[in-house]
Amino acid sequence: MSADSTLQTQVLGELYVAHHDWLSRFIQRRIGCPHTTADLIQDTYLRLLANGRLPEQQDARRFLTHVSKGLVIDLYRRQRIEEAYLTYLKNQPEHLASSPEDQLQMIQVLTEIDAMLHRLPEKVRQTLLLRQLEGLSYKAIAERLGVSVSSVEKYMVKALQACLALDPAGD
- Say how far apart CA 59 and CA 65 lie, in whole Å: 10
Q: At what angle do helices 122-134 and 138-145 cross, to 10 degrees?
A: 140
What's the angle, vertex CA 102, arms to CA 96 and CA 105, rounded to 5? Answer: 135
- Say how far apart CA 25 and CA 15 lie, in whole Å: 16
Q: For the stretch 126-162, what's the b/e string if a residue is b when 16 or more beta carbons lie within 10 angstroms of its beta carbon?
A: bbbebbeeeebebeebbeebeeeeebbeebbebbeeb
What are 33-71's pLDDT values in tens digits? Answer: 999 999 999 999 898 888 877 888 888 899 999 999 999
CB 56 within 8 A of CB 17: no
Tell the CATH topology of 3-85. Rna Polymerase Sigma Factor; Chain: A (1.10.1740)
- Say how far apart CA 157 and CA 118 lie, in whole Å: 17
Tell the CATH topology of 120-166. Arc Repressor Mutant, subunit A (1.10.10)
What's this model's pTM, rounded to 2 decimal places? 0.72
Domain ranges of the chain: 3-85, 120-166
Length reported for the chain: 171
Please, which pLDDT band fits residue 95 given cuts at 50, 70 and 90? low
